[in-house]
Amino acid sequence: QLDKPGFLASITQHIRDSMYQFGVLKQTDLESEVLTRLGMYHDESKHNTVKRRIYDALSTFLALNILQKQDKTLYWKGFPGNEFNTSILSSPSVLQQQQEPVVSVPQITVAINEESSDMGYTEDFFNNATSEELITKADELNLEIQQIEQKIQFYDFFLNQQQDQQQQQCAKLPLSVIAIKDQKSSVIVPQKSSDMKKVQIIATKESCTIIHHNEIVQQLMEFQE
C-alpha cells in the first residue's frame, strides 16, 4: 500500500485538509493527524515511511508558498491569489462545530453567539452532573480553548508579517550630521548635492529636525553621546 502511486497523493490531500482545517499545527502534530486519517496511527512499523512521504509533500507545499514554517510550526497561507483568508473558518468541519468563535480580519475580534455564551452549560447542569459528565465537558472545553488558541496564533503570525511589511523604510539622506557636545546645534554638510541649498534646522543635543532640503520636510536623527 505504501508503494502505490496514489499513496503520496493521498498524504498530500490529508496535509492540505488538515492545514486548511486547523490553520496552524506543529509538524509533529500534523504527522500524527495524517497518520490518524490514514488509519495507521497505531501501526508503528509504517510511521517512518509515512513521515518521509509527509516530508516530501511538505517540501512542495513550502516551495509553492502554500504553507509557511517557523520554529517547527506550520502555517496555512493559502493558494496563490487567495492568501491569508478566512478559509479555515468556512471549511465544512469547522462549520459543524456549534461553539466555534467568529473571527473577523484584520480586527481579530472573537465573538460568541449570545445564545451560547454560557457554552451550552446551565447552572442546573453543573449542580446535577456526575463527575464523569463534568470530566467529559471539561475535555470538550479544553478542546474548544485549544482551537481558539490555534486560530489566534494563526492570525497573529500573518498579521505580524503584514505589519512588518508596512513599516516605513528609512531613506538614506545625502547628508552628514556632526553632533557637537558643547553646543546646542549641529553642523550639517550636504554630500554630493547638486544644488547645495542651505538647510534650515532646529537642533538640540538630543535631536535635529530638518526643515528643508529639496523635497525633505522633516527628519529626526538621534545623536550619540
What architecture is the 5-76 domain classified under in CATH?
A: Orthogonal Bundle (1.10)
Q: What is the pLDDT of residue 114?
A: 41
Q: Distance between CA atoms of 181 and 204, rounded to whole angstroms?
A: 10
Output the pLDDT for position 222.
Answer: 38
For residue 86, give the H/E element and its range. none
Beta bridge partners of 175: 190
| pLDDT of residue 27 exceeding 50 | yes
The residue extents of the domains of the chain are: 5-76, 97-166, 175-222
Please give the residue that has the higher pLDDT: either 3 or 134: 134
Residue 10 pLDDT > 70: yes
Determine the Cα–Cα distance for residues 48 and 98; give it in Å rounded to an integer: 37
Q: In 3-state terms, what secondary structure has residue 186?
A: strand
Q: In the numeric block, which cell numbers belong to residue 15?
A: 496535509
